[in-house]
Structure 1
Amino acid sequence: MRLYREVFESHAWQCLSSGGRDAYLALLLQKGSTNNGDLSLPITVARRYGIKSEATLAKALRELCSVGLLAISRRGGSTKEGHRQVNLYRFTDYDVYENPSKHIDACKATNEWKLITTLGLGREAIRKGEEQAAALALERKKTLLQKMKGTTSEIEGVEPKTTSKNEVWPAEPLQKMKPAQGPPMSVKPYAATV
């Protein structure tokens, strides 16, 4: 495994958290001479290299992409057959060879990490990457939630729709309660008797 001095001393590397550095090294261990672009890091593998949670792994991969050390070569998701595909990554400082079976196109090294010329630029890129991820997660959450429409009044009792004979509690309609009417009850003070 080769971690070149130019990358190690770069501002992009210096901005990374320890999780980001661990993820980079774990992916670098997988890289062979021709498989750049066909790299993935599932949580089961990441745990061997010190990344314990899925949230830390996701944040680390976002950091690496934000500072340009990694790029996504194939975006994951669900296929028409219902299979899940993982994101595949490439190191930007190495060439990528074509892999038609995984829909990976050939490309030369792009070295986006060299655009991070100061620590401030690197931290800003990571911050923007996190904001984009949060906005995307919020958008997904909005589209996945079902909006419920109320069909009863606030004081109306709720009745079960279906029951079985084996239920422990019998299915009976709940009692409708009305708010108290009239003057409030007075409380007599406690008189001590001797």
Structure 2
Amino acid sequence: MSRRRPTITGQFHARSIELLESPAYRVLSVSGHRILDRVSIELAHHGGKDNGKLPVTYTQFEEYGIHDKGIAPALRECCALGLLVMTEQGRASAGEFRRPSLFRIPWLHSHKGEKPTNEWMRIETMAHAEFIARAARKAGEKPKKRQPVVGAYAPTWRANGTAHVMAGATAKNKKPGVVFSQFEGWKPPLENKKPRVETTRTAQGVESTRTSISRGGDSTALTAVSS
């Protein structure tokens, strides 16, 4: 008696294990996963065709369970991580001038017969993926107003919006799209090593030893003795 293979009745969307184990897919937020799922559903509604010109409106994303203020950050996150490609920017307008954005799923063939591009495979580490996802979600945020920090003599100012500048400052043109190429030159941040200061007390005075670390690993010790 031959064993029957498990089958799925109805339409389905397959994703490879390599994709599911990739850093880009693992760091994706819940809203980002819903973005991918809704675009995959739209592909099924088109009979598995038209990958590259799949129209999904903001209303359809909202009806699928994404908060209206979380749609744009989730779209930027998916595009920056290489899990989704926005082939055409939509326009919010009235009447006949309104049009939705068009999308392409990068791990599938396009409607023109082009091979999958798989931009998500370029991200090799979790640190790189987390940096991209965090910067992409904050790219459209408006910089906060500077708040005074009162010091001992005069107030100083603290500047905000570092992630906004680092991600390309797309808040000026108000475009939700973030392309993967903005983050291809990413490098892991270097750790800032501060010199360690050791202080010992003696009968004659205070002896302080400061050690500074250079690039080559050499150290220089400075000793000051006060009587």
Structure 2 length-normalised TM: 0.51
Query: Is 1:33 matched with 2:48?
Result: yes
Counterpart of 2:171? 137
Gaps (5+ residues) in structure 2?
1-12, 142-168, 175-227
Structure 2 distance, partners of 1:78, 1:48, is 17
Counterpart of 1:50? 65
Q: Could you report, residue by residue, the CA deviation over 1:92-137 in whole angstroms, capped at 9, with x for unpaired residues?
A: 1112124xxxxxxx64311000011111111111233245434222
Structure 2 distance, partners of 1:17, 1:59, is 10
Counterpart of 1:17? 29
**Percent of aligned pairs with the same residue?**
29
Q: 1:85 aligns with which of 99, 111, 121?
A: 99
> Post-superposition shift, 1:46?
2.1
What one-letter code is carried by the residue in structure 2 that aligns with 1:47? E
Structure 2 distance, partners of 1:18, 1:78, is 25
Q: Could you report, residue by residue, the CA deviation over 1:146-175 in whole angstroms, capped at 9, with x for unpaired residues?
A: xxxxxxxxxxxxxxxxxxxxxxxxxxxxxx
More strand as a share of residues: 2
Counterpart of 1:177? none
Q: 1:112 aligns with which of 119, 123, 132?
A: 119
CA spacing shift, 1:48–1:84, aligned 2, 3 Å: closer
Structure 1 distance, partners of 2:68, 2:36, is 15
Counterpart of 1:70? 84
Per the alignment, in what secondary structure is the counterpart of residue 40 of structure 1?
strand
Structure 1 distance, partners of 2:92, 2:58, is 18
Counterpart of 1:8? 20
Structure 1 distance, partners of 2:92, 2:39, is 23
Gaps (5+ residues) in structure 1?
99-105, 141-194
Structure 1 distance, partners of 2:126, 2:79, is 16
Counterpart of 1:192? none
Structure 2 distance, partners of 1:123, 1:34, is 32
Structure 2 distance, partners of 1:86, 1:48, is 15
Whether the 8 Å CA contact 2:73–2:140 is kept in 1: the answer is: no
CA spacing shift, 1:48–1:119, aligned 2, 3 Å: same
CA spacing shift, 1:48–1:82, aligned 2, 3 Å: closer
More helix as a share of residues: 1
Per the alignment, in what secondary structure is the counterpart of residue 73 of structure 1?
strand
Per the alignment, in what secondary structure is the counterpart of residue 35 of structure 1?
coil
Whether the 8 Å CA contact 2:73–2:136 is kept in 1: the answer is: no
Q: Could you report, residue by residue, the CA deviation over 1:29-50 in whole angstroms, capped at 9, with x for unpaired residues?
A: 1114221112233233223432
Please give the root-mean-square deviation of Cα atoms over the aligned residues, in Å. 2.4
